[in-house]
Copies of this chain bind each other. A is one copy, B any other.
């Protein structure tokens, strides 16, 4: 191998080790850490972020990237070496714009506001986090300003998560989607809502967790290289390609909460676990964008995990696990319950059809905050107003209003939410491509078999890691650019049957 490339990889590995250690500090903070550890933990994460950033943006890496340019140009674009150099350069040029001291300040602040949020949300006390959130907004603007020349202040922030997308391009896609969703939601919610009371019985937590784990084992999540723990707000995290973990939360009186969060996070995890192990410790060993990542969590959670075929296989097992609760509930009733469409307040609990409305309003609020058209102190009210307008209801408090999502309380504002809806759109697009290649997939799902689907995803998406941009990957997989039609068609077909729409 090229000696300079070997040197580059060694340096990348060191930065990666620091990042991985930091990921563990964060995982522990949100799973097992006693509260007394919070203050030092914030400092430790700040220190490691700074050191990882210093390590990754070391001028020696810039020099190696320059020296490797002719080697890169001598290789096919898609070769592993050329891709490693290209993607590393992109990340390097991005991160070198952020001073390490700023990264440390930001990380320290993130840990502080996260801890405050874990207390403010149960206390329904937005004011406890308001000054911290104002600082988050200020820091978010400062991030954007490290990338001068943008069209919209959110562009650099969106670019971190969904490389290649801009505020304007996201707005256009979202406008198209809204045009399809609003009448669909209206047509469904003008009918009687499905009865989902069967999900709100008493389901002992351990059995709920066991069931979810059994399903994702069938999916192909590798427990030799992962595990699930409990937390406030479920997430996936990676410490290496040999250790990709998920977290969930469980509610005794809500059968859907833990289960679908487990299926969701397993999709994220299987993506990371499917990456070519030769990429370990390099920037290629990541998902390619927030949207593509989310396409996989939503695919396994919804397209697979809320399909009728899936439950033809699993419902008898679930009934056997919870006989008193479910023996008199038919598969049809259960299937309608887990796909109940209703205007609601909580994004993560929202059904597939209304879910994107939750995202679209958050995206708009982020832009307004960044543009200075909305003040943080007015955010709770703006939140309520927007829910009233878009979903026809207002949260009784901030706990289920502006405090509901962890994102603004653990990262920056801007570019945070669009990935969820881009992911939904991509899930429909990619699943359509998988079906085209393997029409047998739905029948296999109905037998609890996922090898063909998982194998196709590994082959076409997972193994590549961050080698291709989201746009390149979509082009390779579907032969064209991002488009909403397959996703909209999936929604209309599924919910058309469920609600007998015209």
Contacts and interface: CB of A to CB of B under 8 A. Distances in A.
A32 B239 contact: no
B17 A43 contact: yes
Contacts of A47: 13-14, 17-18
Contacts of A80: none
Give the interface SS of chain A, mostly helix, strand, loop or mixed.
helix
A110 B226 CA distance: 23
Interface string A147-183: 0000000000000000000000000000000000000
A243 B21 contact: no
Contacts of A226: 34, 36
How many copies, total? 2
Contacts of A227: 32, 34
Interface in A91-146: none
A240 interface: yes
B21 A48 contact: yes
Interface stretch (A22-30, A319-327, A442-450): A22-30
B40 A239 contact: yes
Interface residues of A, number: 40
B240 A41 contact: yes
A280 B25 CA distance: 18
Interface stretch (A217-225, A296-304, A411-419): A217-225
B36 A242 contact: yes
Contact of A21 (B25, B224, B239, B280): B25
A460 interface: no
Query: When A and B form their complex, which 3 residue pairs have the shortest distance between CB atoms, in order from nearest?
Result: A37-B243, A40-B240, A36-B225
Given A21-B25, A40-B242, A51-B51, 9 more contacts: A17-B48, A21-B22, A21-B24, A24-B28, A28-B28, A36-B242, A36-B243, A39-B240, A40-B240
Interface of A: 13-14, 17-18, 20-22, 24-25, 28, 32-41, 43-44, 47-48, 51, 222-227, 229, 239-243, 245, 280-281
